[in-house]
């Protein structure tokens, strides 16, 4: 990872600390503006990727206004500078990205399938480097402490994230922890109804956030459960509604790559396993017998 990309990761954390107050989305920030200014800035909300690289002068020209008005809007949204506003737009562009946009950014002259495979691999490596440079292990260890004390661990997710939910569920179950997964809207609604202060809820969703996951997380938080979010940007509603959230990039040439989230789950599992090492060893002795002699395994 380059020095510049490391600096970007730190800038993302600084912006996150400054603007994730757990209460307002970008749309809610816009609603605080005068009606005419709301209409001026609306195109930016609808397509942040188009505006994210623009200077204040270029943005003003695009919106058919003047730079002074743009700066008044920026401050009205709660940003102390245009630089902070652009960083926030960068996060919005991540949250709003679609598979089609990623595919369309591939030029005709660079559409060779092998070269695209190499690009996908390089992107995965960058995502892992970002996770390595930004993951706060101490904060994750504090979450593991709560997981071990929890009456129940509810894991929420749907659509493409179902694989991640099942992977984490399996890992925690292996350690004898009381995990339960909810990957459909109906089960998510029912399972979060009964969570409370003794429970931990882990929600996994990326980009704008899947409705069933976000709304279930919000209900769990209101019920007093300790909520953990795994997402890819601090402007995600998952980050806003969680008590603690962890960012794992899913950037890819198109669609999502789950290399970094899988790595994060492995790290979480490893810390969980070593948090109470003697207990884990006792469980693994039983697992060892099943892995050596259990009926599930094809004989050598």
Strand, helix or coil for residue 153: strand
**37 vs 29: CA distance, rounded Å:** 12
pLDDT of residue 4: 41
Q: What is the mean pLDDT of residues 36-53?
A: 85
pLDDT of residue 100: 65
Q: Is 21 exposed, middle or buried (0-12, 13-18, 19+ CB in 10 A)?
A: exposed
CB of 9 closer than 8 Å to CB of 130: yes
pLDDT of residue 21: 46
CB of 200 closer than 8 Å to CB of 272: no
CB of 134 closer than 8 Å to CB of 233: no
Q: What is the mean pLDDT of residues 253-260?
A: 88
pTM of the model: 0.79
**How remote is the C-alpha of 155 from its chain's centroid?**
14
Handedness of CA 113, 117, 123, 124 (dihedral sign): positive
Contacts of 21 (CB under 8 A, 6+ apart): none
pLDDT of residue 6: 43
More confident position, 52 or 230: 230
pLDDT of residue 30: 86
Least confident residue range of 25-34, 74-83, 280-289? 25-34
Residue 17 has pLDDT above 80, yes or no: no
Selection from 158, 150, 155, 202 nearest residue 176 by Cα: 150
Rounded CA Rg of the chain: 22
Which of 7-21, 40-54, 89-103, 137-151 ranks highest by mean pLDDT?
Answer: 137-151
% of the chain surpassing 70 pLDDT: 87
| Angle, in degrees to the nearest 10, between helices 67-76 and 82-95 | 70
Handedness of CA 208, 214, 218, 221 (dihedral sign): negative
Q: Average model confidence (pLDDT) for the chain?
A: 86
**How remote is the C-alpha of 288 from its chain's centroid?**
34
pLDDT in tens, 174-202: 999 999 999 999 999 999 999 999 999 99
**110 vs 105: CA distance, rounded Å:** 10
Residue 1 has pLDDT above 90, yes or no: no
Handedness of CA 216, 219, 225, 228 (dihedral sign): positive
The confidence band for 164, taking pLDDT boundaries of 50, 70 and 90, is very high
Strand, helix or coil for residue 99: helix
Residue 25 DSSP class: -
Bridge partners of 203, per DSSP, are 156, 229
DSSP H or E segment with residue 230: strand 226-231
All domains in the chain, ordered by first residue: 8-96 (1.10.10.10), 133-293 (3.40.50.10490)
CB of 20 closer than 8 Å to CB of 29: no
pLDDT in tens, 114-125: 888 888 899 999
pLDDT in tens, 48-79: 888 888 899 998 898 999 989 989 998 888 88
More confident position, 144 or 12: 144
pLDDT of residue 81: 87
Residue 139 has pLDDT above 90, yes or no: yes
More confident position, 300 or 76: 76
More confident position, 196 or 35: 196
Report CA-CA distances (Å) from 194 to 118, 162, 165, 204: 47, 22, 20, 20
């Amino acid at each position: 990872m380059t020095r510049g990309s490391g600096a970007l990761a730190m800038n993302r954390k600084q912006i996150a600390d400054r603007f994730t107050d757990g209460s307002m989305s970008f749309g809610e920030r816009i609603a605080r503006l005068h009606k005419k200014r709301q209409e001026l800035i609306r195109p930016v909300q609808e397509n942040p990727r188009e505006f994210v690289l623009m200077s204040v002068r270029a943005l003003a020209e695009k919106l058919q206004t003047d730079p002074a008005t743009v700066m008044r809007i920026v401050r009205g949204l709660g940003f102390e500078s245009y630089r902070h506003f652009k960083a926030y737009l960068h996060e919005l562009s991540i949250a709003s990205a679609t598979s089609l946009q990623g595919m369309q950014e591939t030029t005709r002259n660079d559409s060779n399938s092998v070269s695209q495979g190499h690009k996908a691999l390089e992107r995965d490596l960058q995502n892992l480097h970002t996770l390595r440079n930004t993951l706060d292990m101490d904060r994750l260890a504090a979450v593991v402490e709560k997981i071990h004390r929890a009456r129940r661990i509810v894991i929420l997710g749907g659509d493409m994230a179902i694989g991640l939910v099942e992977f984490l569920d399996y890992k925690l179950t292996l350690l004898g922890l009381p995990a339960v997964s909810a990957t459909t809207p109906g089960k998510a609604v029912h399972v979060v109804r009964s969570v409370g202060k003794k429970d931990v809820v882990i929600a996994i969703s990326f980009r704008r956030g899947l409705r069933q996951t976000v709304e279930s997380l919000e209900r769990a938080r209101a019920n007093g459960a300790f909520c953990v979010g795994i997402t890819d940007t601090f402007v995600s509603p998952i980050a806003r509604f969680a008590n603690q959230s962890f960012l794992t990039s899913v950037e890819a040439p198109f669609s999502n790559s789950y290399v970094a989230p899988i790595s994060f789950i492995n790290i979480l599992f490893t810390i969980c396993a070593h948090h109470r090492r003697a207990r884990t060893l006792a469980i693994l002795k039983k697992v060892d017998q099943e892995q050596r002699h259990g009926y599930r395994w094809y004989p050598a």
